Structure 1
């Protein structure tokens, strides 16, 4: 099947020029003779553009393996938004997909064109998946095996960004409310990179106080319980970084029940920028994670392997944006 590159070589022009000619780009500044030449070569080589290819629809079958249950996705909508966007893209592209269950027969993986894993897999599952399918993309997790594609968030820079913001506001006593995945990787509990980044940066600044750190799971109930535990000790920080917005919502409740105010008594920074973050009172300052871009990147990586046969692995690192609202103040 002819490609744009083939046409470009025959016509003696760039690939970009061919693409713009075939897509009828009116802003392209080339002669009519060049356009005619490109169209004639494309016809001679029987070039089929993307729209025509889509209309002929080659069916692919993709498996989606997710780490979190429906209940967990509703409590922390980060993974729900990623999965929902991935499924929406597949529906729009008319690509068949299904969710891979926990008890899925490994041999069934051989029949799939590719797999997207949302979250982590344990070492045994990674080995079994790899034996049966080479087209695997991980979302929000980077396996040690560099043969896999992955899309991850730059959590270290995100936490540093949040801490620098709080320190510039005058905060030195800063707490962290986070969680750890319940799954184990080689019998070792997975440490969340936000937690590690918090420890590293606070140690570097010489202001780490482990009395202000609590770990549970990534739910509003856990955020409430862990924050309440620190407040009940009678000694608490002037600011908290929460591992996600859901935990921040729980922290709001604990702080308000204690008769304290946000941000007058305690400043809060969340993580993810879920839709409700801007509507709680006061509106939550948070680190926006671009879930739609993460989902699109994961699908693009997978289809590069499935359609184009790419063998070399890629890692996409997605930045975050600090969205400043009303939950932090200068002291």
Structure 2
């Protein structure tokens, strides 16, 4: 039978019994999100504190360590090619740390690596119905970022694609451009479910209402720089003199690739061809010519996601809601 001391337990007592340093005990009990320690050690320290009745940090239902998995649908390599998703993940981690929420990153939707003891999940990117169901098996406290999950019953934050596209079309029209094309994106979830480009849907709807939609002006890629380059090369080759005077591009990596193809073809920007990208990451700010782009507030969206998660953790039975994050067009050298 284990003896229990009648004296108050100290950090030194916990450290000795758990086999770790006093500093490690202190940081774990104070929920230091910057501490890099494996889950077994963390749980051993917490259990030892409970066993020794360390009341200063004794956890209750309302004072439990909140640990949230950040599920990024991209791999680390893909993140480097698309700074949009990297910026969202990094700001979520910073905002969570400020709130005292511990986070664990999971890449490429590797759902098998999500720890079973997480209290919530912030999922970034695109997910199939079956993947949503798998996430649900871990926890019901899920917030989706850049994916509309409201119909599935989960909180979500999404950019305002409709008004973003509307602002792009209006900008081209204000420059006297009515022949407008688009380099759209197409991709699949990590379990091979096709993800449609909502920007293309709103683009087609907007132009059809105005009677200026031309399906032959639409080219697609996979959101990578190379696909943007190849799509623009094909547009230039297929259309020749009929190449539109304005082209909207679905994301920044594609836009950078498209810009290279236009420059190789010696097409004057913006006099012969105006270009507008979407996302407005550093990729398009520092190319030459710098690109006009729809700015999406990734930092604001990430911080809002953490706020929504904090509310969800506090009130898990509350109704889900959808937050639409506003956008605005920033004009640079690729438009007049």
Displacement of 1:296? 0.6
Structure 2: runs of 5+ lacking an equivalent: 1-61
Shift of 1:279: 2.4
What is the TM-score normalised by the length of structure 2?
0.76
3-state SS of 2:333 partner: coil
Cα deviation digits, residues 132-167 of structure 1 (max 9, x gap): 311000000012534200000010110011101101
Residue 222 in structure 1 maps to residue 239 in structure 2: no
Name 2:48's counterpart in structure 1: none
1:292 is matched with 299
Of the three residues 70, 88, 92, the one matched with 2:76 is 70
CA RMSD of aligned residues (A): 2.1
Deviation at 1:100, TM superposition (A): 3.0
What CA distance in whole angstroms lies between the structure 2 residues aligned with 1:86 and 1:141? 16
How far apart, in 2, do the equivalents of 1:290 and 1:117 lie?
17
1:237 corresponds in structure 2 to 244
Name 2:186's counterpart in structure 1.
180
Take 2:153 and 2:186, find their aligned partners in 1: how far apart are those partners? Answer: 25
**Number of residues paired by the alignment?**
272
Q: How far off its partner does 1:188 sit? A: 5.7
> What pairs up with 1:204-219 in 2 under 5 angstroms?
204-219=209-224
SS in 1 for 2:188: coil
Deviation at 1:221, TM superposition (A): 1.1
Contact 1:184 1:190 in 2 (8 A): no
Distance in 2 between residues matched to 1:130 and 1:176, nearest whole Å: 36
The equivalent of 1:202 in structure 2 is 207
**Offset at 1:178?**
1.5
**Paired residue secondary structure (1:172):** coil
Does the 8 Å CA contact 1:176/1:212 hold for their aligned counterparts? yes
Match of 1:105, SS state, is helix
Distance of 2:89 and 2:138 partners within structure 1? 23
Give a deviation string over 1:98-130, Cα, whole Å, max 9, x none.
123544438x66521100000122111212222
In structure 2, distance between residues paired with 1:105 and 1:210: 42
Equivalent residues of 1:221, 1:250 under 8 A apart: yes
Structure 1 distance, partners of 2:208, 2:164, is 17
2:112 & 2:292 partners in 1: Cα distance?
44
**Any runs of at least 4 consecutive aligned residues in structure 1 with deviations exceeding 4 A, and if so which?**
none
Q: Any unmatched runs of 5+ in structure 1?
A: 1-55
The whole-number CA distance in structure 2 between the counterparts of 1:229 and 1:104 is 38
